[in-house]
Amino acid sequence: MLRIATFNVNGIRASHQRGFAAWNERALPDVVALQEVRCPVESLPPDAWCGLHAAYDPGTLAGRNGVAVLSRVPPADVRTGIGDREFAHEGRYLEVDLDLPEAPLTVASLYLPKGSTRAGDPAKYQRKQRFMASFTRHLTKARRDARRRGREFLVMGDFNVAHTTLDVTNWRANQRNEGFLPEERAWFGEQLGPRTLVDVVRTLHPDTAGPNSWWRWGGRTFEDDTGWRIDYHLASPGLASRAVAAWTDRPTSSGDRLSDHAPVLVDYAF
């Protein structure tokens, strides 16, 4: 069994103070993709990676972004960025080759820009659209390259897009909000296909609302489970076919939250 997780930690230092190490010891993932690590290398907390091997791209924007992949085996190769100069130094995408005993994998961690509505902030909206267009090209190349080299492919992370009405609790009220705009949802759907990439969690929970992975801080959004599913495992078909369980590791109370996101885990049987 191979347990793989994705987790937007919303700051690794804050997440460690809230109990990230204890979560890792309890969940025992073999691979973890992290987003919004938001910490220069020299300021990482002691044992930031909980004894796992780490590949980390902090980016160059102080206090923002930063993606990592933690694994029980050292990466055989590490690649960063999506090949677009505009986003090259932002710490939004990291890809590693892992020669695990179960299977050779290429695993990527993504933090896609949140963006804005067209009317709210046109510059942010257009920037997100540019990132998505560039990422589509990179994703096609990356998964084809993995297949050519005999590797399964998995991209995980915070896509900042809810794909369907099952992925937002109050979807009717959010149809004009960033993350649930028609063109964003259409773009996400274009990344999926039976021969390309599979939304693993949705495949295992086809008719379930959520399971949500993000809730705003404050209020009763967490207690009432008024959230969004924006953290995904998108896997090559061969890997997706081995998924036997998928869940959001949602704390029992708001006081136990490590982040405004919760980890999303999948068990793959080999």
Ordered domains of the chain (ranges, CATH)? 2-268 (3.60.10.10)
pLDDT by residue (tens digit) across 8-17? 999 999 999 9
Q: Could you tell me the two tokens for 247? A: 């869940």
pLDDT at 94: 98
* Amino acid 154: pLDDT: 98
Whole-prediction pTM:
0.97
Give 84-144 as a DSSP string.
Answer: -GGGTTS--EEEEEEE-SS-EEEEEEEE------TTT-HHHHHHHHHHHHHHHHHHHHHHH
Give dist(CA 186, CA 175) in Å, integer: 13
User: What pLDDT is attached to residue 62?
Assistant: 86
Per-residue model confidence as pLDDT tens digits over 216-270: 998 899 999 999 999 999 999 999 999 999 999 999 999 999 999 999 999 999 9
Provide the mean pLDDT of the chain: 97
pLDDT of residue 16: 97
The DSSP bridge pattern shows strands 31-35 and 2-8 to be parallel
pLDDT over 90 percentage in the chain: 97
Distance CA 135, CA 50 (A): 30
Q: How confident is the model at residue 119 (pLDDT cuts 50, 70, 90)?
A: confident
Q: What is the mean pLDDT of residues 77-95?
A: 96
pLDDT attached to residue 118 = 84
